Amino acid sequence: MRSWRPESLLRAAGFFAWIATGVPGTLAGLKGKASIAELLAWLVCYLGFAVAFWLSTRPMLDGVPGRGRVLGLLVQSACALALVRITSSGYEGVLLTVVAGQAALILRQPIPLAWIGGQSALLLVLLLRSGYPPSSAGLNTLAYAAFQAFALGAAYLARNEAEARRELGRLNTELVSAQYQLEQNAGMAERLRIARDLHDSVGHHLAALNLQLEVASHLPPEKALEQVQRAQEVAKQLMADVRSAVSSLRSEAVPDLRAALMRFAQTIDRPKILLEIPEHLHVQEPLRAQALLRCVQEIITNAVRHAQASTLYIQVHQEAHGVEIRARDDERGSAAMQLGFGLKGMQERMEQVGGTVAVHSETGRGFQIRAWMPLEASR
């Protein structure tokens, strides 16, 4: 099932409202209730609203700056109020509700509330000047003010819910990364324990074995046999301890790097993440495994926070001497791209293990990342 973004729903609803609002004005012109000049003015304002709405609701990385969106809101408000003055069919106020829904996504509080108040006041003045009785003009204005307030609140709820979902996805990736790191640390602690036990046990038995052989070397052959037999017993015990340590190392559960990366993709709803990982991905050194994990995590987090893409493609290839990561999304991209703190941190982390990161974006081709990391330190 497709997941709709709040901006996409607002855009679809806005265009539907625009089409529905235009029907009364069109019918009025066709029935001769408006002159040619008025009909042309109505058409300019009507189409102007649609163009401004389309520009204001384009994705953030399509090249429309924040000031351009505010200007789009001003144009939409002006066009909607002009339509009220030209035709006064009673339906033009719906477009003011569309503007109110956008204001919640573009402007900061308390500006949207002031915007609604200003639109409502102008709507009342225009209705009175168009011949509406004061009571009727007041009721219409009050009704459209209520619709605008409702649209504003709904847009705020949708925006907050989307931000909460993005933050939850980011926290989930952090949790998966922390869990993997704990598994790695637990594995390292177990290796250190086995190494200490092996050192203590083998060191003790080797010292005893060396002592027995030293004593045997100074005894006549008929008396040395007893010392040699004792040395054999020590050697058998030493072999048993070594086998036990090796068995513990073999039975130790190695953290599954592939499973950790797959959990990253499963914690994010949007963008949809298509992750390709080899079945037997294995990075022996914990520092390099952590660098690989953090690299994929930052790619996903960056897409969740900043991109307007619907799909993120990530490919992980393990080669003979290294691991390569390729990532791209399907959003429009931007020629003017600046690396944020997260991407710079990813570059620094990969460089610490001898790897490289290349980031590229251009209009129409989305956002692309290529990272490579050697499996072993260069000698």
Within 10 angstroms of residue 48's Cβ, the number of other Cβ atoms is: 17
Q: Which of 127, 78, 70, 126 is nearest to 103 (CA)?
A: 70
314 and 348 co-located in one domain: yes
- Among 379, 329, 322, 313, smallest CA distance to 356 is for 322
Q: How far apart are CA 271 and CA 307, in angstroms?
A: 9
Closest CA to 291 of 312, 274, 316, 272: 316
Asked if 152 contacts 103 with a C-beta cutoff of 8 angstroms, the reply is yes
The percent helix, strand, coil of the chain (3-state, each to 5) is: 70, 10, 20
Do residues 318 and 214 both lie within one domain? no
Please identify, among 251, 268, 302, the residue that sits at the C-terminal boundary of a domain: 251
Q: Which of 43, 122, 56, 55 is CA-nearest to residue 83?
A: 43
Q: Structure tokens of 367?
A: 């956002």
What CATH number did the domain enclosing 305 receive? 3.30.565.10
Residue type for position 130: S
From the first residue on, what is the mean pLDDT of each consecutive set of 10 residues in the chain (379 residues)? Answer: 57 85 69 71 89 78 58 90 80 86 82 89 87 86 88 81 73 69 64 62 61 71 68 68 59 61 72 83 78 82 71 86 87 60 78 86 76 77
Residue that terminates a domain, selected from 203, 235, 251 = 251
In this structure, is residue 200 part of a structural domain?
Answer: yes
The whole-number pLDDT of residue 34 equals 63
Q: Would you say residue 170 lies in a domain?
A: no
DSSP output for 229-266: HHHHHHHHHHHHHHHHHHHHHHHSPPP-HHHHHHHHHH
Same domain, 161 and 16: yes
Tell me how far CA of residue 227 lies from CA of 201, 206, 207, 237, 241, in angstroms: 21, 15, 14, 15, 21
In this predicted structure, what is the pLDDT of residue 240? Answer: 66
- The residues near 345 (Cβ < 8 Å, ≥ 6 apart) are 298
Inside any domain, residue 290: yes
Q: Which pTM value belongs to this model?
A: 0.50
Give domain status of residue 171, yes or no. no
Residues 311, 291 share a domain:
yes
The per-residue pLDDT for 309 is 73
Neighbours of 370 (CB within 10 A): 15
> Does any domain span residue 297?
yes
How far is residue 79's CA from residue 85's CA, in Å, rounded to a whole number?
10
Helix, strand or coil, per DSSP, at residue 107: coil
- Could you tell me the CA-to-CA distances from 89 to 35, 83, 148, 276 in Å, in that order? 15, 9, 18, 57
Q: Which residue has the tokens 């038995």?
A: 205
Task: Give the amino acid at 353.
Answer: V
User: Residue 234's domain spans which residues?
Assistant: 191-251
Q: Is residue 37 part of a domain?
A: yes
**What pLDDT was estimated at residue 6?**
55
Whether 273 and 333 map to the same domain: the answer is yes
**Residue 9 CA: distances (Å) to CA of 114, 116, 155, 199:** 24, 21, 10, 66
H or E segment and range at residue 227? helix 221-251
Distance CA 161, CA 157 (A): 6
* Three-state secondary-structure class, residue 373: strand
User: Of the candidates 207, 229, 251, which is a domain's last residue?
Assistant: 251
Residues 271, 284 within the same domain:
yes
| 205 and 339 share one domain | no
245 and 275 fall within a common domain: no
Q: Are residues 35 and 110 in the same domain?
A: yes
Find out whether the peptide bond into 271 is cis, omega within 30 degrees of 0: yes
**How many folded domains does the chain comprise?**
3
Examine the domain organization and report whether 12 and 141 are in the same domain: yes
Question: Per the domain annotation, does 179 fall within a domain?
Answer: no
The answer to whether the beta carbons of residues 354 and 374 sit under 8 Å apart is: yes
Say yes or no: 262 and 247 in one domain.
no
Q: Does 172 reside within a domain?
A: no
> From CA 225, how far away is CA 216, in angstroms rounded?
8
Considering the domain architecture, whether residues 145 and 113 belong to the same structural domain is answered as: yes
